[in-house]
């Protein structure tokens, strides 16, 4: 009997041929921050293409992107399952102690009439990261099979919207701050869940950094539609009646007669400029400023020790840590809870005031300020996570216990509002005033 030859399964092209190899025409992109249209150069693994006008990263290429992100996502998901399955941390003082699991940092807050804070905690450290990782695995598994799974496009659209709200790394900093505060009063023991969550936070960050959205959308679409006829490089998209999709990158023509224009590839809503961007940003800045007042006037948590209860405001907690000699931790809390939110409010206010008086010399500096403002906003959640961990952990009755104060909700609202304010501000407005400096080249 003749031996049958075993044929190896076909290897997915998604990990062997980048988009530049699979097409012979130039691929155009409109910068998300300055609206400058440029052509993507051929990229190798580890290389990136940046906007020649504002230096925004348009595309970052990775080696084996589908396999890499899928492996990292699966590893992170396993670490998350371990983190929610074992004890997180425990403490004991004078023979009395308590042990908590990761999810109790949120569920305990519900018992203290803080459901909104509890939802924010569990969503940002468990639910949304899990949804993100499962989505990545779903997408990349389909791409490796050369046959995208159902709903892949809708799931791929959601990834960029979920990423800013994944705060596992911020939670780790909050956990370290909490443990250092408790270590001076009681004996602390770290559980398996704590170390698993640390691994999860690192893997989650690596997963988000490993995603190559350009490659992913090119593979999902089995190619890429041409930019509209007559699209010029070295000019803004808005002056040509075009808009670049912030989700998949494809340049589309805006129909001025249509109430809403959607991207031809991913169906994301498109705008030359975000509608009412400054008005919405101003409204969110004012709302966040108003909420920042009770966030500092009212106690963020109440500490009971030997029957005596003392409230602690954000500034009071910083002073207390400094008096205990924990200067590094006091500095972390002060920066995250005072410098960052105030600095973000001031920066966004200033950007809104001067956006119409920009010129091409200072536009780049103001864009850098916007990037910094957008990046640092999420780190203010450190104080909210500290409260969530301490409230769940320190529960020893009149001997020692911590309860959340009304400022926890107000401060959490400040963090969310400032993050949304940065998202609603359209950085392309910074570059609208100066005229084009370069002459255009007609694309083929």
Which among 236, 227, 244 has a CA at the least distance from the CA of 32? 244
Inside any domain, residue 46: no
Distances (CA, A) of 389 to 109, 112, 173: 10, 13, 11
pLDDT in tens, 133-151: 999 999 999 888 888 889 9
DSSP 8-state secondary structure symbol assigned to residue 431: G
Please answer whether residues 404 and 391 qualify as being in contact, where contact means their C-beta atoms are separated by less than 8 angstroms.
yes
Coil/strand/helix, residue 16: coil
CA 23 centroid distance within chain: 32
Per the domain annotation, does 264 fall within a domain? no
- CA–centroid distance for 80 within its chain: 18
pLDDT score, position 95: 67
369 domain-assigned: yes
| Own/partner long-range contacts of 82-87 (Cβ < 8 Å, ≥24 apart) | 82/192, 82/193, 82/196, 82/200, 83/193, 83/196, 83/197, 83/200, 84/126, 84/193, 85/193, 86/191, 86/192, 86/193, 86/196, 87/191, 87/192, 87/193
Euclidean distance between CA atoms 201 and 205, whole angstroms: 6
Interatomic CA distance for residues 121 and 112, integer angstroms: 14
CA distances from 301 to 158, 193, 411 (A): 35, 25, 12
Q: Is 434 in contact with 359 (CB distance < 8 Å)?
A: yes
Would you say 300 and 383 are in contact if contact means Cβ atoms under 8 Å apart? yes
270 within domain boundaries: no
- Per DSSP, helices labelled H in 298-406 are 314-323, 327-334, 340-354, 360-376, 382-393
pLDDT per 10-residue tile (average), the chain, 444 residues: 42 57 75 92 86 91 88 96 92 76 90 90 95 95 87 91 93 88 78 94 94 87 80 90 90 84 88 90 96 92 75 83 76 86 93 80 87 89 90 74 88 94 92 57 45
Both tokens of residue 216?
Answer: 């992913």
Number of independent structural domains in the chain = 1
Strand, helix or coil at 216?
A: helix
Tell me whether residue 122 is in a domain: yes
25-49: pLDDT as tens digits: 678 999 999 999 999 888 888 889 9
CB atoms closer than 10 angstroms to residue 305: 16
Give the residue numbers spanning the domain of 371.
65-216+275-431
Give the Cα separation of 332 and 334 in Å (integer): 6
Residue 431 in tokens: 């570059």
The verdict on residue 444 lying in a domain is no
Per the domain annotation, does 384 fall within a domain?
yes
SS3 305: strand
Contact 415, 384 (CB under 8 A): yes
Answer whether residue 251 is part of any domain: no
- Grouping H, G, I as helix, E, B as strand and the rest as coil, residue 243 is strand
Q: Is 231 left (phi over 0), alpha (psi -120 to 50) or beta?
A: beta
Summarize pLDDT for 274-311 with one digit per residue, the tens.
Answer: 889 999 999 999 999 999 999 999 998 888 776 677 78
N- to C-terminal Cα separation, the chain: 58
């Amino acid at each position: 009997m003749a031996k049958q030859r075993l044929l190896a399964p076909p290897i997915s092209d998604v990990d062997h041929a980048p988009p530049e190899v699979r097409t012979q025409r130039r691929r155009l992109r409109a910068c998300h921050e300055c609206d400058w249209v440029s052509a993507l150069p051929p990229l190798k693994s580890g290389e990136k293409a940046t906007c020649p006008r504002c230096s925004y990263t348009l595309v970052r290429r990775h080696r084996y992107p589908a396999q890499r992100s899928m492996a990292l996502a699966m590893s992170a998901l396993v670490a998350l399952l371990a983190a929610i399955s074992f004890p997180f941390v425990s403490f004991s003082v004078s023979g009395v102690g308590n042990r908590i699991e990761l999810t109790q940092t949120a569920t305990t807050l519900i018992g203290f009439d803080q459901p909104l804070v509890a939802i924010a905690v569990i969503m940002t450290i468990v639910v949304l990261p899990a949804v993100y990782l499962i989505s990545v695995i779903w997408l990349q598994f389909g791409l490796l099979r050369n046959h995208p799974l159902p709903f892949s496009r809708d799931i791929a659209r959601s990834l960029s919207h979920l990423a800013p709200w994944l705060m596992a790394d911020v939670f780790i900093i909050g956990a370290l701050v909490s443990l250092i505060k408790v270590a001076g009063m009681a004996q602390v023991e770290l559980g398996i869940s704590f170390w698993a969550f640390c691994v999860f936070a690192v893997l989650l960050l690596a997963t988000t950094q490993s995603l190559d959205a350009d490659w992913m959308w090119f593979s999902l679409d089995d190619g890429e539609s041409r930019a509209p006829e007559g699209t010029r490089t070295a000019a803004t998209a808005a002056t040509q009646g075009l808009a670049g999709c912030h989700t998949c990158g494809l340049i589309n023509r805006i129909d001025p007669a249509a109430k809403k224009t959607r991207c031809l590839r991913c169906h994301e809503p498109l705008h030359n400029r975000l509608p009412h961007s400054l008005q919405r940003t101003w409204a969110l800045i004012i709302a966040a400023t108003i909420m920042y007042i009770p966030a500092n006037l009212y106690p963020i948590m109440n500490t009971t020790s030997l029957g005596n209860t003392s409230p602690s405001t954000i500034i009071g907690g910083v002073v207390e840590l400094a008096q205990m000699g924990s200067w590094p931790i006091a500095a972390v809390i002060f920066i995250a809870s005072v410098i960052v939110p105030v600095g973000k409010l001031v920066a966004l206010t200033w950007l809104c005031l001067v956006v119409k008086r920009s010129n091409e010399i200072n536009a780049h500096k103001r864009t850098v300020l916007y990037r910094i403002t957008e990046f640092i906003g999420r780190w203010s959640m450190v104080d909210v996570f500290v409260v969530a961990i301490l409230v769940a952990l320190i529960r020893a009755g009149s001997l020692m216990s911590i309860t959340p104060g009304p400022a926890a909700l107000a401060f959490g609202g400040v963090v969310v509002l400032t993050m949304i304010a940065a998202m609603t501000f359209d950085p392309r407005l910074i570059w609208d005033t100066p005229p084009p400096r370069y002459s255009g080249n007609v694309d083929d």
